[in-house]
Amino acid sequence: MPIWNPRIETMPRVDLEQLQLERLQVTANRAWEGVPFYRRRFEALGLMPEQIRSLDDLRQLPFTTKDDLRSGYPYDMFAVPLREVVRIHAPWGTTTTPTVAGYTRNDLQHWRELAARVLSAGGLTKDDVIQISFTYGLLTDAFGLHQGAEEIGASVIPVTAGAVEQQISIMQDFRTTALVGTPSYALQIAEALAEKGVPRTSLHLRWGMLGGEPWSQATRARIEAQLGISATDNYRISEIMGPGVSGECEEHKDGLHINEDHFLCEIVDPESGEVLAPGQTGELVITTLTKEALPVLRYRTRDLTSLNPEPCACGRTLARMARVSGRTDDMVIVGGVKISPAQIEAVLSGIEGLEPHCQVLVDRAGAVDRVEVQVEVSSGLLTGDMRHLLKTQNQLREKLEKTLGLAAEVKLVEARTLDRRRPRRILDRRKSNSGHPAQQ
């Protein structure tokens, strides 16, 4: 898996940190000068950009939140005149006001390079035929990875998301070797192949780079087994750039290498905002180092991960982030217990017959919190013995109680009935039902 940019990706950390400092200072200077939002922030703190003298001084700056970006929609956070912006994406969220992503010519060039790095680390070469099944349009995934793949020189098929049957036909006709899309979509393709009785060997797929939603190791193992591919994870965030922020190296799949010459990452405690040490899990905060159109300082991503600055066996010295384990706003406190979907999934993965898809409903009955965990079961289990079904249900209930201290009702549902696209897998209905403020 060739390293796309060896000079940067294997740079000694002391040189990398000097580069980061230079670019951080440039970004702070330009944000102060050209983005009224940041100018106000600096002035409110009595801070001048030259007070950023080291990477640690970044902590003096306040965070930027998604609401800050939303309040600037569409153009208030831009640091350059619109004339210089050559691409605009607007990731439409599932709720509320969208945020905008804008790029100058240089920003686009950097994006291309970074997407190429991540794809190359994941295993893409110019001999591959790559099928991109993200939706082409305002979202950043499709175009971002498309550009990177072209940069590498692979044969790119911009299939877009669509009917699974079409994806499979194209795979067969064009002998696609690489797939890019969401893990759910990959599973849907695998399921469709099984249903139609299409032998895996009739396809030429060998590799997949999946992302856009959290997915567990168990899901990865399933996808790899069912599609016969090696699947790598990558991290993308539209408010920062899109895909290309970080990605796993295929050799080791032990953390996602962050393109640190363009993004300065910190891990903070989601409650206190305090910066945490490497290895500790917390919220990922990103500062852009080279973005011209939309520089962002200390953006709170609400994604939970940890950092590992040790060099990887693949040769890259770029720090790695752990696979995102959940969202800061996707945790709830129920009956004094803090739970996250990641924890529940971990419990699920140990029980046979359950699919790694769950939904958690939190409600309040009278004065008591009530939790229902809905889990999909594999088809084998549903058609089997009723007693076996009940046994699995009890097994899960007991395990949840024992490992998480969570007393929950378990409801087993048919496969593929839960909405995969929903980003929040914990629905807390307590806010609307009772007068008590829900603990989040």
Partner 1 sequence: MLVLTSVVTYYGSVQALKGISLHVNEGEIVALIGANGAGKTTTLKTISGLLAPRRGTITFRGRPVGGWSPEAIVRAGISQVPEGRQVFGPLTVKDNLLLGAYPLGWRDKRARLKENLERVHDLFPVLRERAQQPAATLSGGEQQMLAIGRALMAEPRFLLLDEPSLGLAPRPSRVIFNAIPVFRQRGLTVLLVEQNARAALQIADRAYVLETGRVVMEGLAQELLSQKEVQRAYLGRGYQQVWEE
- Residues at the interface with partner 1 (CB under 8 A): 15, 18-19, 21-23, 25-26, 29-30, 33-34, 49-50, 52-54, 80-81, 83-84, 105-106, 109, 290
Q: How far is the CB of 13 from partner 1 (least distance, A)?
A: 14
Q: How far is the CB of 317 from partner 1 (least distance, A)?
A: 16
Task: Measure the CA–CA gap between 333 and 192, rounded to whole angstroms.
Answer: 38
Q: Which amino acid is at 25?
A: Q
Nearer to partner 1, 106 or 155 (CB): 106
Q: Which amino acid is at 85?
A: V
Nearer to partner 1, 262 or 327 (CB): 262
421: Cβ contacts below 8 Å, ≥ 6 apart: 94, 184, 213
Dmax of the chain from CA atoms?
70
Structure-token pair, residue 83: 């004339």
List the alpha helices (DSSP H) in 134-265: 140-152, 164-174, 183-196, 217-227
Helix H or strand E encompassing 268: strand 263-268
Q: How far is the CB of 112 from partner 1 (least distance, A)?
A: 13
Task: Measure the CA–CA gap between 186 and 184, rounded to whole angstroms.
Answer: 5
Nearer to partner 1, 33 or 352 (CB): 33
Nearer to partner 1, 48 or 225 (CB): 48
Q: How far is the CB of 409 from partner 1 (least distance, A)?
A: 58
Dihedral (CA of 66, 70, 72, 77) sign: positive
Distance of CA 434 to the CA centre of its chain: 33
Distance of CA 308 to the CA centre of its chain: 17
Nearer to partner 1, 84 or 213 (CB): 84
Structure-token pair, residue 424: 């929040």
Nearer to partner 1, 33 or 409 (CB): 33
Q: How far is the CB of 11 from partner 1 (least distance, A)?
A: 11
**Residues 355, 345 contacting (CB under 8 angstroms):** no
Q: How far is the CB of 292 from partner 1 (least distance, A)?
A: 8
Q: How far is the CB of 427 from partner 1 (least distance, A)?
A: 46
Nearer to partner 1, 25 or 434 (CB): 25
Does the bond joining 74 to the residue before it have cis omega, within 30 degrees of 0?
yes
